[in-house]
Amino acid sequence: MNQEFIHIDGGVTAPSGFKASGVKARIKYDKKDLAVIVSEVPAAAAGVFTTNKVKAAPVLLCAENLADYTAQAVVVNSGCANACTGDSGMEMARQMAAAAALNLGIKPSDVMVASTGVIGQKLPMDRIIPGIALAAGAVSSEGGHDAAEAIMTTDTVPKETAVQFKLGEKMVTIGGIAKGSGMIQPNMATMLAFLTSDVNIDPLLLNKALKFVADRTFNMVTIDGDTSTNDSLVILANGMAGNTRIEQEDVSFRIFRDALAEVCITLVKMIARDGEGATKLVEIRIRNAPSFTDAKAVAKAIANSNLVKTAIFGEDANWGRIICAVGYSGIDINPDRIDIYLGEEKVAENGAGLDFSEDRAKVILQQEHIIITVDLHIGDAAATAWTCDFSFDYVKINASYRT
């Protein structure tokens, strides 16, 4: 679909009718650690959440509040996950929603709640509640960047983006922020991401678009194979762009879904590039698989291979580790038909190594963005996964996470 998506500044406040803020609630050190995002009007809403059997209280509350596919605000804290905190955890999540609702003049059931940080610690509500009041009072149409900063934990940079595009005669916008640099192995999107849009769309179609895109973007990023207890992907679409309402899976729906994918892919690449200790963004493209499900399984097997990731860090063109991961991916393959490329350099053909240029491969592996392509030659489906290399610093960061 030849639709132009224009990347613009503003993140979650780029769409009409959205405001946000990020403040210091003193949950952690002397950094922004509490964010609020709010729409001027109630919005269609959808979410995708962690598949971990151990789910944090905010995840459970969000799923409960999304039962009517409507929301108006998001409140997020970093520094404490509010996970594995018993019955009090749910009560604290409800208190966060109630405090945001009170200060924003909306219903508690229209507030999405998210937390990120250390598992097993209780939220410091004596700081959270005043922090929510502070954040609610500080929301502005320029506050998207502050919100992106406030949701960070081990992230080294904030992650935000927005795109504008036309639906009929109306210019519409989708914005987003995300956090995540470790414990990123989705079976949804193991991180936090919040998307906003001024598109007028039926809530059930919004939900369908989000799930489709999540499966092809956030579900395809992995840093270390660990699935968090708190991972949440939420979108609010308030309709304030004034486009003709999307009520069926027509051209407008597909354009919206493609634009949503553009936003999510941009955020996914930021997450993978910012993996804990990462020095390289690795993009793994699977081609000519029997089905998308099969292509996804192969891409994720390669992306999760510590041997592949350490070889990338060491700039070693060890394609044998790649084909090994293909072999244990669980799909029915023909090993004698597999071709492998590092960038444009073909390193294996029909399952066997080629006399490729080690020098050219070395130059490719020295780049910050490395593309691995695997052609299975057994179908016409494709999938792409994103990860990073596995460096010495990853161990250092995670060995002392709590301290």
Q: What is the pLDDT of residue 389?
A: 84
DSSP assignment string, 230-257: S-EEEEEE--TT-PPPB-SSSHHHHHHH
Q: What is the pLDDT of residue 397?
A: 59
Question: Which sequence spans correspond to the domains of the chain?
Answer: 6-273, 281-399
Residue 266 known to be catalytic: no
> What is the number of other CB atoms lying within 10 angstroms of the CB of residue 399?
9
User: What local confidence, expressed as pLDDT, does residue 125 receive?
Assistant: 94
DSSP at 244? P
User: What is the 8-class DSSP label of residue 337?
Assistant: G
The neighbour count for residue 315, using CB atoms within 10 Å, is: 17
Catalytic residue among 190, 196, 229, 384: 190
pLDDT tens sequence for the chain (403 residues): 567 899 999 999 999 999 999 999 998 778 999 999 999 999 999 998 876 777 788 889 999 999 999 999 999 999 888 888 888 999 999 999 999 999 999 999 999 999 988 788 889 999 999 999 999 999 999 999 999 999 998 788 899 999 999 999 999 999 999 997 544 444 333 379 999 999 999 999 999 999 999 999 988 887 554 456 677 899 999 999 999 999 999 999 999 999 999 999 999 999 888 766 678 899 999 999 999 999 999 999 999 898 999 999 999 999 999 999 999 999 999 999 999 999 999 999 999 999 999 999 999 999 999 999 999 999 999 999 998 888 766 666 556 555 5
* pTM score: 0.86
Q: pLDDT tens across 6-64, in order?
A: 999 999 999 999 999 999 999 877 899 999 999 999 999 999 887 677 778 888 999 99
Structure tokens at 356: 């490729």
Distance between CA atoms of residues 398 and 182, nearest Å = 9
Specify the pLDDT at position 189: 32
pLDDT of residue 267: 94
**Are 6-273 and 281-399 in the same CATH fold?**
no
CB 4 within 8 A of CB 188: no
* Spatial separation of the C-alpha atoms in residues 38 and 20, rounded to whole Å: 6
What integer pLDDT is reported at residue 364 of this predicted model? 96
Across-strand partners of 396? none
Residue 223's pLDDT is 58
Rounded Cα distance, 337 and 28, in Å: 53
SS3 31: coil
- Residue 374's beta-bridge partner residues? 286, 340
Domain 6-273 has CATH 3.60.70.12: yes
Tell me what pLDDT residue 332 has: 94
| Topology annotation, domain 281-399 | Ubiquitin-like (UB roll) (3.10.20)
| CA dihedral sign of residues 245, 207, 205, 266 | positive
The tokens describing 11, both together, are 């993140």
The whole-number pLDDT of residue 190 equals 39
